[in-house]
């Protein structure tokens, strides 16, 4: 049995950084990874998918060149093998960089294998028992596969397996109208596939306010994406020339099916019950405001704890744990202001509460909305789709949230994120002087609209 100061299970965005920080403090740590370093972001999330998004946008801009006076002779062709290889190389570069970083850090041992708890302070990997007084779980999540008639009888794709696809689907059906599904929908439509999005709910991106969801669907529909909402029955059957998909009795012939109906935590085969670690009904590890589990000496970070589902929240989990354990600080998850982006084009940047959430909180709420058609940069680039919206507390002048659905909205939203983290009132920003021409220059005008 080998003894360490800390065991880290999983090498997502939190695990490697925490391992290095602890090793730099003179601790002996072991990082156990079942498959690939880097977690979802590096291997099947942010890095490869946004590389594909970039290729898809290049095709879109090329086809629109004539609108801006740039004439391209001939048809815009897509080399899917090159597109796929480029995304794979981005992943490999990041993965290999992590391996080099960890390998060059004294005090860090990396073991590839599946870790399973034997007791609350021991795990077994590749037939060997490791023990440490501190154990950190950073095992992430994987695509959830729904129980749909006929789905097991067809070859279907997930957000992970589709990254290995190097051919262009003739007709891609996407089951799930949320963030992952919508990104792939627009991406493959721009590559040239026919796209059908299937959503059981009343609208796509249902986490957003209704006006945001409607605007997203309009953007996708304008690019020729067929969206079906309020679908009650979905079934599949293998056909002679593809897949037969049935939506409430209406049949469609498609070539490929992508299942994008959410994710589930990778916690079902770790022996958490043996260690006594509590999980909620969906399998997420229950943690407190400092990411500690109910078992002393065990913490859970990243997607597996249900307190965030993004690269940046996983990395922030590392920052919180490191600050509390190594720097004698008092940081809490509840202090984190939620923020994220939807990477369709134009993207959606979001921070804080939605209008619906703010209204249900019992506050007196102020709302301001401005069309992207008023943004100079959007007009100059002929990309005026979308709008921006801000929500504030009428009494305290506190900014409660914002949404920017429009060109560079994922970048412009950071001005609001920073203001909210600093506790700045919206009245303090109404007359700030932004740079022209930028997307952010409309934010002071947006805030003046709050009153």
The single residue of 228, 256, 312, 436 carrying the catalytic annotation is 436
Cα(first)–Cα(last) distance of the chain, in Å? 66
Contact between 190 and 60 (Cβ < 8 Å): yes
Measure Cα distances from 48 to 86, 129, 208, 312 in Å. 8, 35, 25, 16
Beta pairing, strands 115-119 & 226-228: unpaired
Whether omega for the bond prior to residue 219 falls within 30 degrees of 0, making it cis, is no
Collapsing DSSP to helix, strand or coil, 251 comes out as strand
Comparing CA positions, the residue from 99, 130, 115, 79 lying closest to residue 37 is 99
Q: Where are the beta strands (DSSP E) in 292-422?
A: 298-300, 339-342, 348-352, 365-371, 387-393, 399-405
Instruction: Give the number of other Cβ atoms within 10 Å of residue 99's Cβ.
Output: 17
Name the maximum alpha-carbon separation found in the chain. 70
Spatial neighbors of 450 by CB under 8 A, at least 6 apart, are 366, 367, 368, 390, 392, 426, 430
Euclidean distance between CA atoms 236 and 234, whole angstroms: 7
Q: Does residue 436 have an active-site annotation?
A: yes
User: Phi/psi of residue 410, each to 5°?
Assistant: -70, -25
Euclidean distance between CA atoms 80 and 157, whole angstroms: 16
Euclidean distance between CA atoms 200 and 215, whole angstroms: 19
To the nearest 10 degrees (0 to 180), the angle between helices 46-63 and 80-103 is 150
Measure Cα distances from 71 to 29, 64, 67, 74, 381 in Å. 58, 9, 9, 10, 16
Measure Cα distances from 123 to 109, 126, 247, 385, 421 in Å. 15, 10, 46, 52, 39
Q: Where are the alpha helices (DSSP H) in 28-124?
A: 39-43, 46-63, 80-103
Long-range contact set of residues 221-224: C-beta below 8 Å, sequence gap at least 24 = 222/385, 223/186, 223/189, 223/190, 224/189, 224/194, 224/195
Active site members? 436
């Amino acid at each position: 049995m080998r003894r360490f100061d800390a065991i880290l299970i999983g090498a997502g965005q939190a695990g490697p950084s925490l391992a290095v920080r602890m090793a730099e403090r003179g601790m002996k740590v072991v990082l156990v990874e079942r498959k690939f370093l880097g977690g979802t972001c590096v291997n099947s999330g942010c890095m490869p998918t946004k590389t594909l998004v970039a290729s898809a946008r290049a095709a879109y801009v090329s086809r629109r060149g004539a609108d801006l006076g740039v004439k391209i002779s001939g048809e815009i062709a897509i080399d899917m093998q090159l597109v796929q290889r480029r995304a794979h190389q981005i992943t490999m570069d990041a993965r290999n960089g992590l391996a080099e970083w960890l390998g060059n850090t004294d005090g860090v041992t990396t073991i590839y294998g599946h870790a399973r708890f034997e007791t609350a302070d021991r795990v077994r990997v590749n037939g060997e028992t490791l023990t440490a007084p501190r154990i950190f779980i950073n095992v992430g999540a994987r695509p959830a596969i729904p129980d749909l008639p006929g789905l097991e009888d067809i070859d279907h794709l997930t957000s992970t397996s589709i990254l290995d696809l190097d051919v262009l689907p003739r007709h891609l059906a996407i089951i799930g109208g949320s963030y992952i599904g919508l990104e792939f929908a627009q991406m493959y439509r721009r590559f040239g596939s026919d796209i059908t999005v299937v959503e059981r709910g009343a609208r796509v991106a249902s986490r957003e306010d209704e006006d945001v969801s409607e605007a997203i669907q309009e953007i996708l529909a304008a690019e020729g994406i067929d969206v079906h909402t309020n679908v009650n029955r979905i079934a599949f059957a293998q056909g002679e020339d593809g897949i037969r998909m049935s939506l409430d009795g209406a049949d469609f012939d498609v070539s490929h099916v992508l299942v994008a109906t959410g994710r589930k935590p990778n916690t079902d085969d770790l022996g958490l019950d043996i260690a006594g670690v509590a999980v909620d009904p969906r399998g997420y590890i229950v943690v407190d405001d400092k990411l500690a589990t109910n078992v002393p000496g065990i913490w859970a970070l990243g997607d597996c704890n249900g307190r965030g589902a993004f690269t940046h929240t996983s990395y922030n989990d590392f920052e919180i744990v490191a600050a509390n354990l190594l720097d004698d600080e008092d940081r809490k998850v509840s202090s984190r202001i939620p923020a994220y982006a939807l990477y369709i084009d134009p993207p959606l940047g979001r921070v804080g509460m939605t209008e619906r959430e703010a209204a249900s909180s019992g506050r007196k709420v102020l709302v301001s909305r401005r069309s992207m058609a008023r943004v100079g940069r959007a007009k100059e680039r002929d990309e005026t789709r979308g709008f921006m919206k801000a929500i504030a507390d009428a009494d305290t002048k506190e900014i409660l949230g914002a949404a920017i659905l429009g060109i560079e909205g994922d970048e412009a939203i950071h001005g609001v994120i920073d203001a909210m983290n600093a506790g700045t009132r919206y009245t303090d920003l109404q007359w700030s002087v932004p740079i022209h021409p930028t997307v952010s220059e409309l934010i002071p005008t947006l805030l003046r609209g709050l009153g």
